[in-house]
Amino acid sequence: MAKMMMMQQSQPSLSLLTSSVSDFNGAKLHLQVQYKRKVQQPKGALYVSASSEKKILIMGGTRFIGIFLSRLLVKEGHQVTLFTRGKSPIAKQLPGESDQDFADFSSKILHLKGDRKDYDFVKSSLSAEGFDVVYDINGREAEEVEPILDALPKLEQYIYCSSAGVYLKSDVLPHCEVDAVDPKSRHKGKLETESLLQSKGVNWTSIRPVYIYGPLNYNPVEEWFFHRLKAGRPIPVPNSGIQISQLGHVKDLATAFLAVLGNEKASREIFNISGEKYVTFDGLARACAKAGGFPEPEIVHYNPKEFDFGKKKAFPFRDQHFFASVEKAKHVLGWKPEFDLVDGLTDSYNLDFGRGTFRKEADFTTDDMILSKKLVLQ
């Protein structure tokens, strides 16, 4: 049975730090959003107006992207409900968030407890509630989305978190939204979801992030480097280290999700979202060192083909050039990332790792395999 409740502040307060770059609660973000609204006026009943209060459902929302997005939406005056299995706290105080801001957020966020793969429950509970807008942050398969659309025939906008991983590997970069996609990629479920949304004729927008980083990241992206830097260990990097990649800060991703809300220019469109600049693997290691105040790192290059790592992942990035253009989002949405790479990594380090808050325990097993072979060869 659907369970809807208003969350009250019940989580213990975390130790607070002020972000060196952005507190994510200031007037700067608010003014940027207001400016976009003035130049982008929705027309007709098809489009949701971001300037009016809307009943918004976030599929997921208790981890990483959803945590920052839900705060922006609540701050904008929308009624926000998180659909989760209830295994994680619905409201969690952010590093750098004041007690008053957290209490205000906690008093306004709503929760609908259930399993999105229980399609009968999804249809009945969502039909009973009715929502104007859905943000789908954790959808992986098209079959998970169809019951939501069936339950909400009057839905004004479906905003989907896809992935730049859907693009077909190419010698011509950066990836643009019109580029060929790979139906066999590990993100094929997201690609099929985009196709479903298009076929259903709903008002949809799809966001394709590249690598996402920032505070509360549960994926070992920047954390992988910070673990090694903090332990004073060399950083093993596959092959030449000049492979070019791209990272986007989670707070910039959240503002992009907000920018498409009620924006007729975003209707039935796909947008790449990430940082403006690209970085090599070696450059990323050095950027992490600079962000955390560590000395110049020792980088050790190796040939992955010379090792059998089993199921362990020796490096957190795909061993290839992989980056995408964000020009469409900049020109169409008026969106622009706030964080450059070093500033963003500094924000992540100060608000997470500088306090000793690592998401996962360090595992140097593959590092030791690489380093031991290097010592033997020397």
Which run of H or E residues covers position 249?
Answer: strand 247-249
From the list 150, 115, 119, the residue with the least C-alpha distance to 134 is 150
- 111 by Cβ neighbours in 10 Å (0-12 / 13-18 / 19+) ranks as buried
DSSP per-residue string spanning 18-83: --SS--SSSHHHHHHHHHHHHH----STTS--TTS--EEEEES-SSTHHHHHHHHHHHTT-EEEEE
Residue 111 near residue 87, CB atoms below 8 Å: no
The pTM score is 0.86
Return the DSSP state at 187: T
Task: Determine contact, residues 335/33, Cβ cutoff 8 Å.
Answer: no
Is 280 within 8 Å of 242 (Cβ atoms)?
yes
Kindly report the backbone phi and psi dihedral angles of residue 175, in degrees, each rounded to the nearest multiple of 5, phi listed first.
-70, 135
pLDDT along the chain (378 residues), means of 10: 43 31 35 36 39 91 94 96 93 88 95 96 96 97 97 97 97 98 96 97 97 93 95 97 98 98 98 98 98 97 96 96 98 98 96 72 94 68
Q: Is 346 helix (H, G, I), strand (E, B) or coil?
A: helix
For residue 174, whether the previous peptide bond is cis, meaning omega lies within 30 degrees of 0, is yes
What pLDDT score was predicted for residue 375?
59
